[in-house]
Structure 1
Amino acid sequence: MTKTKLILIIILITLLGGFLRFYKNYQNPVSLTVDEVAFGYNAYSVLKTGRDEYGKFMPLTFKSVGDYKNPFPIYSMVPSIAIFGLNEFSVRFPTALISTLSIPLFFLLFRKLTKKTGTALLGTLLLAISPWHIYFSRYVSDHLMAGVFIGVGIIFFLKMLDGKKIWALLSALFFVLSIYTYYPERLFVPLFLLALFAIKFKELINHKKESVIFIIACIVLAAPLLYSTFFGNDIARANMVFITKDIEFTRNVLLSDAKTAFSGMANMSLLFFFWARKYLAYFSPSFLFYGGLPMTIQGSYGLGVLYLFEAIT
Structure 2
Amino acid sequence: MQKYILPIIIILGFLLRIVLLDKIPAGFTPDEASFGYDAYSIIKTGRDQWGKTFPLVFESFGDYKSPLYTYLTIPSVWLFGLNKFSVRLPNAILGTAAIYVLYLLIKELKIGDSLGFRNSKLETLAPALLAASPWHIMMSRGAFEANLTTFLLPLSLLFFLKGLKCPKYLILSALPLSLNVFSYHSAKFVTPVLFIVLGLIFRKELLKSWGIWHKISIGILLLFAGIFIIGLSGGSSTRILDVSIFKTSLLEASSERIKAINGGMNPTLARVIYNKYQAGIRHFAGNYITYFSPQFYFSQGPAESTYGMIPGRGVLYWFELPILIIGFIYLAKNISSKFVMTVVFWLLLAPIPAALSIGPGYAANRAVIMLPALQIASALGLCYLIVWIDSIKYKKTVYTTLGVIAFSFFSYFALDYFMLSPQKGAQGMLYGNYEALKYVSENYSGRQIIVSRRLSEPHMYTAFANKWDPA
TM-score w.r.t. structure 1 length? 0.89
| Structure 1 position 269 matched with structure 2 position 265 | no
CA deviation after TM superposition for structure 1 residue 241, in Å: 2.2
Please give the per-residue CA displacement for 1:192-230, whole angstroms capped at 9, x wherever unaligned: 11111111111111220132222122112332222332x
CA deviation after TM superposition for structure 1 residue 164, in Å: 4.2
| Equivalent in 24, 27, 39 of residue 28 of structure 1 | 24
Mapped contact 1:106–1:151 kept (Cα < 8 A): yes
Mapped contact 2:167–2:214 kept (Cα < 8 A): no
Which residue in the other structure is 2:34 paired with?
Answer: 38
Which residue in the other structure is 1:207 paired with?
Answer: 209
| Structure 1 position 134 matched with structure 2 position 134 | no
Give the fraction of aligned pairs with identical amino acids, expressed as a percent: 35
| Structure 1 position 238 matched with structure 2 position 240 | yes
Q: C-alpha distance in 1, partners of 2:64/2:274?
A: 32
Please give the per-residue CA displacement for 1:126-148, whole angstroms capped at 9, x wherever unaligned: 11101111111111222220232
Q: C-alpha distance in 2, partners of 1:148/1:218?
A: 19
Q: C-alpha distance in 1, partners of 2:236/2:105?
A: 32
Q: C-alpha distance in 2, partners of 1:168/1:23?
A: 36
CA deviation after TM superposition for structure 1 residue 306, in Å: 1.0
CA deviation after TM superposition for structure 1 residue 299, in Å: 4.3
Q: Within 5 A, what are the aligned runs for 1:131-170?
A: 131-165=134-168, 167-170=169-172
Mapped contact 1:147–1:178 kept (Cα < 8 A): no
| Structure 1 position 289 matched with structure 2 position 298 | yes
Larger Rg: 2
Q: C-alpha distance in 1, partners of 2:89/2:149?
A: 16
Mapped contact 1:149–1:174 kept (Cα < 8 A): yes
Q: Give SS of 1:208's match.
A: coil
Which letter maps to 1:179? V
Alpha carbons of 1:278 and 1:186: their partners in 2 closer, same or farther (altered >3 Å)? closer
| Equivalent in 169, 173, 176 of residue 174 of structure 1 | 176
Q: C-alpha distance in 2, partners of 1:32/1:250?
A: 35
Q: Give SS of 2:183's match.
A: coil
Q: C-alpha distance in 2, partners of 1:86/1:257?
A: 51
Q: C-alpha distance in 2, partners of 1:240/1:143?
A: 17
Alpha carbons of 1:266 and 1:151: their partners in 2 closer, same or farther (altered >3 Å)? same
CA deviation after TM superposition for structure 1 residue 7, in Å: 4.1
| Equivalent in 85, 89, 93 of residue 89 of structure 1 | 85
Q: How many residues align?
A: 304
Q: C-alpha distance in 2, partners of 1:237/1:299?
A: 23
Q: C-alpha distance in 2, partners of 1:213/1:39?
A: 33
Q: C-alpha distance in 2, partners of 1:202/1:103?
A: 31
Q: Give SS of 2:288's match.
A: helix
Q: C-alpha distance in 2, partners of 1:294/1:276?
A: 18
TM-score w.r.t. structure 2 length? 0.60
CA deviation after TM superposition for structure 1 residue 270, in Å: 3.0
Which letter maps to 1:9? I
Which residue in the other structure is 1:225 paired with?
Answer: 228
Q: Within 5 A, what are the aligned runs for 1:110-129?
A: 110-113=106-109, 114=111, 115=113, 116-129=119-132
Mapped contact 1:146–1:177 kept (Cα < 8 A): no
CA deviation after TM superposition for structure 1 residue 52, in Å: 0.2
Bigger relative contact order, structure 1 or 2 (CA pairs below 8 A, ≥6 apart)? 2
Which residue in the other structure is 2:384 paired with?
Answer: none
- Structure 1 unaligned residues grouped into runs of 5+: none
| Equivalent in 184, 192, 195 of residue 193 of structure 1 | 195
Q: C-alpha distance in 2, partners of 1:201/1:61?
A: 34
RMSD after superposition: 2.4
Q: C-alpha distance in 1, partners of 2:173/2:141?
A: 27
Moved more, 23-32 or 88-97: 23-32
Moved more, 152-161 or 293-302: 293-302
Mapped contact 1:294–1:300 kept (Cα < 8 A): no
| Structure 1 position 310 matched with structure 2 position 312 | no
Q: C-alpha distance in 2, partners of 1:131/1:90?
A: 22
Q: C-alpha distance in 2, partners of 1:155/1:279?
A: 27
Q: Give SS of 2:319's match.
A: helix
CA deviation after TM superposition for structure 1 residue 21, in Å: 1.1
